Copies of this chain bind each other. A is one copy, B any other.
């Protein structure tokens, strides 16, 4: 039988590690490669070594704790997430995935449960991207998306280099980037959205990650006096921007699986009695499929063409993109089975947020498990998940790993 996790031990580890970077309102400030990040990494290493794990550190500080529970001829099945947080983040985002993985190892160790594959717990470096940009730097570097030396030269707001920060907490490892291999990876995470809570489901089976396209847009109007300039003589850049904001929402509404957001908008000169002469804004389009994203982008360009005809000289540039991703069907099947086995209600989801699993999926079979979080909130001290929700997630994580280990869902599995 599949062992049951110790949910009190899990919760105790969440509370204990939340001391590293604790904020007054229950949240955490544990920026990547900060002294607090160093402390929680040391804690994790100690706990893993106590289980008999070998902990290896790669060149960007990713931590790989190998638990030789299985046959060393096979690559390990990995469980991974991150332990860094936003500047005023919560106790669960990322942390749950790593501590959940630790709980899986502890449970299997306590029960002397033998898996076929070795298991591996991974703590990815700098997932949040709020100190060193971009986000998911460690998993991206592992997957070959980011070059090591470029990562090393990345600087935080104080001008400190990534490499020096990594060195200062003693996590500049010597394992070559990408050299640590694993058979598959499972990541448990809070949803960071309201769908599970609203639908009263326990577990999100994550089918993939939305594709993202980020744009910077500039609209030009004509600065003029707000009193003496008749309406028909105005070229008000903010009126044009307002129509674009409304259009982005409409484009998202008319797409099947898309969302769209203008999160940042700057008015120039931004004076009460001056007609806005220029507006800079950002557009964030997301969709579960690349075709959906293409359609949204086409509709956006039509809107900009209309503004061009009206003289607003729109300029658009792509700031970043990340393609839509589908997780591995075997891994997804293992998660679905793991949830059923735990007697929990599931809902299929596509993740709207980026995750380490999205980069890892480029080099290994991967899937994710979501649990609900209160009001869908994250990146916020008020971020919250209950004792029971966390326990449910970790049990499904364990079940998924065991299922995958058994090969029951491995369509192309070399048994």
Residues on A close to B: CB < 8 A?
191-195, 198, 210, 212, 214, 223-231, 233, 236, 238-239, 241-243, 245-246, 249, 252-253, 259, 261-267, 270-276, 282, 284, 286, 319, 351-354, 376-380
Cβ distance A95 to chain B, nearest Cβ, rounded Å: 17
Q: Do residues B264 and A226 form an inter-chain contact, with CB atoms below 8 A? A: no
**Cβ contact within 8 Å between B214 and A272:** yes
A230 touches B353 (CB 8 A): no
Known A263-B276, A265-B270; 7 more pairs at CB < 8 Å: A193-B225, A238-B263, A239-B245, A243-B246, A261-B275, A263-B267, A263-B274
A380 to B269, CA, bound (A): 13
A231:B243 contact, CB within 8 angstroms = no
Task: Tell me which of B214, B230, B270 contacts A259 (CB under 8 A).
Answer: B230
Expressed in whole angstroms, the minimum distance between the Cβ of A66 and any Cβ of chain B is 32
A351 CB to closest chain B CB (Å) equals 7
Whether A379 contacts B227 in the complex (CB less than 8 A), given A233-B194, A245-B238, comes out as no
Q: A242-B242, A242-B243, A261-B236 are in contact. Are A193 and B272 (CB under 8 A)?
A: no
| Contact partner, A245, options B228, B242, B266, Cβ 8 Å | B242
Which residue of B has the minimal Cβ distance to A320? B272
Residue from B210, B223, B265, B275 in contact with A227 in the complex, judged by beta carbons closer than 8 Å: B210
On chain B, the residues within 8 Å of A259 by CB distance are 226-227, 229-231
On whether A270 and B261 interact (CB within 8 A), knowing A193-B229, A236-B249, A249-B236, the answer reads no
Contact of B225 with A378 in the complex, beta carbons under 8 Å? yes
> Considering residues A259, A273, A319, which has the most beta carbons from chain B within 10 angstroms of its beta carbon?
A273
- Shortest 5 CB-CB distances between A and B: which pairs? A227-B352, A193-B228, A228-B352, A242-B245, A242-B242
Of all chain B residues, which has the CB nearest A194?
B233
**A264–B276 CA distance with the chains assembled, in angstroms:** 8
Is there an interface contact between A353 and B195, defined as CB atoms closer than 8 Å? Answer: no
Q: Which residue, of A236, A249, A252, A272, has the highest number of chain B Cβ atoms within 10 A?
A: A272
Interface pairs (21), CB distance under 8 Å:
A193-B233, A194-B229, A212-B227, A223-B380, A225-B352, A226-B259, A228-B352, A229-B352, A231-B259, A233-B376, A238-B262, A238-B265, A239-B245, A242-B242, A261-B273, A263-B272, A264-B270, A264-B271, A265-B270, A272-B284, A274-B379
